[in-house]
Structure 1
């Protein structure tokens, strides 16, 4: 009587299952184990049927070794997950008695056989999910590589000696140098499939000679021989089978290269000869083994090859080429039903993840992951793909991987092709829970269609994404040999009003050494870009000027063709680029100087939508979290890129008319405050790490008892695009105390160095520019004073020594970063100083005298009163300094605060001119007409200065402008100070 009940087995798979079960029962009978297996219970025998249905390989192993099922069932491991470290510790124990290479083969293969049966059993019966299956397979491979290497390495010492590290003097140290094994592909990502090759690369730290053996050997020869022995131990097919098929073709120079290379040679290869597909391969590279510290160092050295520090859209083009080759191979071999490389297969999901990793992984370092599902989660969190698309891709990927496992489990063959035999098809469909092959195949095709749709959306060629009509003349101007006359005629037809000058620029650029000596890939991208750009410039009101500005950008990015690829990949966005360049030379100059901003410029979803202050802070926090705490250079670079990106968004919004003038200044000020707080936090952390925390008078440690005071434009919430920052630093620790670190210093020294560090981070010139230019001259005693004052010292100075103009400046002083409690104390001190009693006549006199002094030094007019007859092209009006301009309004607001805040405290509570004037109206100290006139003029002047800033135009306009506004301001000035 049979052990197995086959009543519920579908007829389509019954013959195959009966054959396997019959042969197994015969093997059990011959071994005298039939009764013992029968005693395992109906549930386990039912699982055995499910396993045999899924895998002829498992059936063959249990038929050959019938006692194996009893061993696995008795251990309980068929029904529980392995603990971390199980594979390494178990194999280490198994190999303990092995004394030579000849004895290594059998236990490795026995170990692999046992674990493969267990893994397929759990997978085919739904006892393990996809993630456990690939994790166990990868851990098993790691253990086999590591434990085999640990045995073989010392066996080489008697004959050849061992390699050693160099010591600091250049000699040999006493520490042996291991072979670095990099696991690539699915092994590197811990995603190994049921019948996968393992892709490996071997490396070692440096050249030299072994010592301690009968015959010294060059390191390269030693490691090549060691690598060969490791491959043989794993890959050789013996009577016991193999452990893992080993593929070394991903190493530098492929099959023709040395089996192992030293680190310097590895780095040199990838720097000079590394190809685009090798970047994809290196994403998943992982150092394998218990002694893998050298491997981690090597991967860090190779990281710049994999992840560019800029946004790299060039990878999309290379991926298209790679996918095109794969598609051609699939068609040539008739492999359309390959669930890995066919349309909508596993490889396309991997490509989607890798595209985002290679485009943005240099900046968004959390994308530098190996595991696909983890990467997809980060892509979702960064907003690079919608959550529902990410979820669909992950679900379909897991489904496709499970199908792959079913295909491979059948006969332990590395294939991803769906079988053609009906019985095998039925076994896969039923094993995956489907009623029949047709139902399964429909579900599979739906999954593959979804994957292909999302894949195409990510890597579709630009002409597929955007229908951009490029005029024939634009193509001819760049891609055909033309006479000057024909080129000028084409430019005229496109709408260029100065075709001769534009042709001269274009021809000079086209024939320049920079262009003619470009590498093939870069030149091909440039040839795609230039007609698009000429076409986009032709759509602007002033095509010639726009082209002149755009050409400077192209010249700036010629040697970084990834930026050219980014523009080619976004053809519909080029018109927006041309529009912004046409509107603002400041935008054009900024982007030419910092091409990394192109990604911001071309991101339509965020470009014209500056974020609110909370989102701004959170975005910057996320950016800095991705950078190691001790990497100050990268932190400083990230701060600068963050600033440039957000300033550009504000400028684009202002040009597009989606952001009013007051909001422009608000956003720019919020941005400065956010960055200042981040700079303070970084500086504080570094100082505390080095010196400990400053102690208060009661002995308790300070929790950042430090504030940054913003004066002028930042204090008045009126920043423009290129404004510098007027800052004052204040602390509130015990000046006589010291820090609590091992390297203790006086509190005063600590805070002085903290201030210096803040200024260093703000003002250091880097490739991405400086963060902000700062001016510290408004601190107590100016340049002669301490860089950082205590709050008490600041208060004493303001009350006893400060000039009236310093109290005027204090009107626009505001805490912009630092300790909230200290900020409250500062605000109380500020309001107390501003509201102190003052002699009205003396106050008026001092304000007027200071204004006259400024006019004599800074104004384009020497007299106070404007003569309306002195108008016309020969005369200009300086919006800021001239009479009737911005400074007059600022002085009026400051006077009102100093004059009235003692009697009417609300007048002193605001720091920006518009709201000071609002308070003056509310408190009845200025008439509605005067307030309205001043505010109207102020907004007009501010709007004009912003427009001029975007045009790189200074602060002067024709004297024909703003005549009424100037007269009204001067009339209010006379009325106030008469």
Structure 2
């Protein structure tokens, strides 16, 4: 860092920067005169006109922040102009690193004193670094390195201070009071520019903090979350709270796993499970630069070693690159990423900016880093050099991008030096742009703009080449021509005639295919096949309503395909398959996304019996058994379950979309699929637990499906409500494996593993989102429940609404004996006599509460509208609870809502029963189709026209207006039935 240990500001060249204007220069002269009175020694260095005095005055006119710092602390300026820079910065960094240390008497400094020391040290480094940078005594490389070093020192000092305070307060027992972090198991990783030692002048710092609860420094490991959570809140306060001395660094902890639902410090084991099962591609990119900066550095390095398989996969990982590139596209959209213009340009996120260079390097590190360890480096410049050395890019590209990177880092630093603001946007006005140009040493804004535009365009060109392959084009024949840069007039007429409303846009989309910008169209063979089928494709899409939308969804599908030859061949030789694909794109955005993400689901669509053979439990079970037959290892079993579930959910959906099965059949099929898959996942998890921890004496597990899973009414997008029950010998104290666990921890961990197995997003997708809030005590209770505790709770503590939920409970998997015991308990609880008046009161209050807290958004909110699905379900559940008192013994917890209503038919007027069953069928048919086709709310005005047609068909109505009228009619009727029955 720096140009040697003797770098001085007095080495500054004449005219390296110039004053902003004469008015500012007069003010700076007046300030310098005043500062000289406060620090007379300044006169010795700055009295005579010369390069140094000229530089200081110019710096004060250009940077109000530096001027204010000098005014606040004249001694800073004296030190800067009178002595070598590097030793002073090193002293300040050491001052920061030692800010936590007790004094000679052993007294631990208080938090205000630590905060003051850190702020003084950071202020010295910021002032000295900025002046040396502006004077060109430092390069941008030096500046980023020094700023990163003081950030490391400040974070390490704050962590040591907090650990020492914890030790002094009895919360922790440190292994070495003179080095609190040693062996602490507390891991503090610097992310992004901090991790790469590339901090910009006014950077905030991104930290991710993990801890090992078994490190031995905590009195009670169960207190770890609370202890470290409180510690991290104080860490943020120490670093970023503004005091009279300013602040150290704005601090962001949001890069931790799932920040919306995890504590500020995350247990190591939980973090590793998260990254293994749910880690995102953007997190992989982020961890390329992760570096232990404080806390237990050895543990931090060990943690990063364990993450290597997550960050750098074994195979060339092109699939992740579309994801990373999509992040870049999202940034462009969010930031109004238009043409390059200097004024107002974001040098970090804008076109040709710093982020494009970083992504250029990181995407290729992700692709090849698994096989080429030399590419696993943190700094951007080093990564570019490594890519060139590996012949992944050429030397010229690496050199060009490196020069561009450091030039833009210089620009970024000067933008931030003006007011010490975390901004990357160039000024909009000429006067303020001149300030930046002068700080960079340019003679005027024209020269600066020219240099910046050249830099941005160079980066943009290199970045575009990385993602876009410009090749010769294959053209269609006749009046469907998509070669060249301009639209062919005859082609636009043809597209209009085929039914497309925006032919220019469609022409542009198809031209993109032929440019080979998608992986699916990069090979000549793929483009030739696509060209051959383009006329048929356009004709099929043109015949669908809102043809433009449908084709754009197909375009989105193409953009995500890893390869195209096989698909284009299938579609070209199978008109029925093409029609089905168009149907999906026109009516079902959700299904379109699924096939975009998982093209292998198409394989099942080629089965000629697809629309004839019903997806019964036996049918699905045989296929699952065959699909799992060769799987041996835990992860392989789970991945095969994910693939199978995704494909079969999709195929059940196709049957529903085409009308070969109805809503109730689809619900049963989706539920049978879930039963089979969850059962296999549970078996795999139990086997894995037994391999690691052994068995609990007498240990047994059973799984209850609740809600729609219990009543065979899942939709394509449903989560699954589960309760895990267990039992064991009374004298069982722990499992008999190599790593024994007590029963509660054993079954808690087993449940957590099952949840992770089902809901962790992986390359093969997610099996099911899991909801366990229906267990005893809800989210406050343990995730696994012993059967006797479950029985006691249901008999003595459960509320009416919990017994209503229990009326839909269905034992679906696990030990046969425990399943039978659980079923007996559920039947006994539901058969118990109850106060009918209290039940009525509770049911009405519950329905009113739902109506108040979750009012229906519109008539298509079929679940929540008055007289909607909730009302019908409540009628069935209420009748199930009061039936025993009326002399009826009906087990509804093995039945769908419709079957439960029929079984309870003696308790309800026949006309009312018919109304409920008619409404339930309509709601089920509609909601199954809607949930299959879209994820969000159904608004007929804003969904694909093909979907409104399909919804009207599901309602057996000629159009949406008639369908809506029928929903309104039946919902009013159901609400009246509800009022009559629950009374």
TM-score range, shorter chain: 0.3 to 0.5
Structure with the greater relative contact order (CA < 8 A, sep ≥ 6): 1 or 2?
2
| TM-score, normalised via structure 2 length | 0.47
Larger Cα-atom Rg = 1
